[in-house]
Structure 1
């Protein structure tokens, strides 16, 4: 059962972090900032810790007190305050863990994502039958009803690849082992590989295969995704596991994963070679 005291949304947390950073840059204490707005210190603390709503007008006034004059930044913060309390489009899919809601929020706000996935087709590229087989196997604490909802949600999540005017750009390096996976539903893998071939030709989507005989590379440490956002939001890394996922932030940590991804891309087959590999495996193993 998810924690009933759900943590604040990722958007609200990001807003709080940015406001705290601007306050620090202005050389103001919590008490100083609160006094400028006619608040008490606990109110200011709750805002920075994403435990209290703040209006767009309050954001603009606060940033004015901090001496922020970048109109694009002020606009981005105001938009974040406006959207922070809104229910996500996924609200109708049942009870979801905090980390999964964060992931869906990230998909919605991101402009590009880079995956390394050694054993699975990434969720944003999964087809219905394959997605259900993966969820059946991995969502070990979920009911059949939950699994149905998660399967539908996974497909709905892919709308970001076709959104207008700025579809999500995606670059996926997939381990060859993922292409050999077999499920009780024997058509699931063939349909998945056929879809992978089709989607790999779309503008803004790159698919590479990491061959089994490639030798050593940084991806041996496990799967990860690197998510980039429009300015002013920093790039983050998502590490997925059976309990959901963990976001890694901070320039130094993110840079390590970006450098690792560059080496992984250089080691993997080219996109054209990868399509040939996918086609061959589909014909030989899943016909």
Structure 2
């Protein structure tokens, strides 16, 4: 699968640039809303990327901010690109946030998981058992739909121009027989195959490491090629997801991941440990 450019990243980039240009023009959100005859909340949602910016709105805002010529044309084109739909929109009942769109254009992904195999490395049967455990009230057809979306999402790692993927998972993942021992063992063997790809790194954080900075839960750090697109930290739980973009937050999680790497077993030792479980 060839990676397509992500409209999610385009929308995020456009939102950031519109906010910067408004501030440079010395205008408040309220003043922009008044001059464009729309609500301040709409302007705020456009600047945060919570709603899309159509080309006409972008053109009106840029004119108000005194932006013209090539810069205006580039940003209006960006607004047009941001309105396009990625493959994941076919699964809008499964993917409700921006994660998949951001993943699509990331050049590096750093993931920590304390309880489960990271989603991008799960087998179909492991993913089904995981989702069924989280949603015991859901019908199998609904779970299958979510699994289909997850399998489609995984093509990111197996296709052309994949991102660099580095995952650290707690040793607890190896002990937990998700779906039963057979499902768990086949999942672990799948991990051994996945790390043969040169862009995939996997380490296990052993119980002997004791307390560590990932005890609060899993997280994912996404990095992009364009410096205009700042790193994003994605923190998820059963009921909600948070996207952290402030530099202090990104730096904090980056440091946490470095500590987890240092505390984890090197990859060769990690793979030997995984193999010992898959044979057991």
- Band the TM-score falls in, shorter-chain normalisation: 0.7 to 0.9
Instruction: Output the CA distance in 1 between the equivalents of 2:60 and 2:230.
Output: 21
CA shift for structure 1 position 245: 1.8
| Alignment correspondent of 1:240 | 236
- Pick from 186, 191, 203: which aligns with 1:191? 186
Confirm or deny: 8 A CA contact 2:21 2:65 kept in the other structure. Answer: no
Between 1:201-210 and 1:244-253, the stretch displaced more is 244-253
Q: How does 1:94-133 map to 2 (within 5 A)?
A: 95-96=93-94, 98-99=96-97, 102-133=98-129
State the secondary structure of the residue aligned to 2:177: coil
- Stretches of structure 1 lacking an aligned partner (at least 5 in a row): 1-8
CA shift for structure 1 position 82: 2.4
Instruction: Output the CA distance in 2 between the equivalents of 1:78 and 1:271.
Output: 46
- Stretches of structure 2 lacking an aligned partner (at least 5 in a row): 1-7
| Alignment correspondent of 1:203 | 198
Q: Residue deviations 1:125-165, cap 9 Å, x none? A: 1111111110110124532211010011111101111343x
| Alignment correspondent of 1:4 | none
State the secondary structure of the residue aligned to 2:138: coil
| Alignment correspondent of 1:258 | 254
CA shift for structure 1 position 258: 0.6
| Pairing 1:90–2:85 present | no
Between 1:132-141 and 1:153-162, the stretch displaced more is 132-141
| Alignment correspondent of 1:5 | none
CA shift for structure 1 position 109: 2.5
| Alignment correspondent of 2:22 | 23
Between 1:217-226 and 1:10-19, the stretch displaced more is 10-19
In the alignment of these two chains, the number of paired residues is 268
CA shift for structure 1 position 17: 3.9
| Pairing 1:221–2:186 present | no
TM-score normalised by L of structure 2? 0.82
Instruction: Output the CA distance in 2 between the equivalents of 1:233 and 1:263.
Output: 25
Report the aligned-residue RMSD.
3.1
Q: How does 1:16-95 map to 2 (within 5 A)?
A: 16-30=15-29, 40-42=36-38, 46-50=42-46, 51=51, 53-55=53-55, 58=58, 62=62, 65-66=65-66, 75=74, 77-78=75-76, 80-93=78-91, 95=93
- Shift of the 116–205 alpha-carbon distance from structure 1 to 2, 3 Å rule, reads same
| Alignment correspondent of 2:141 | 145
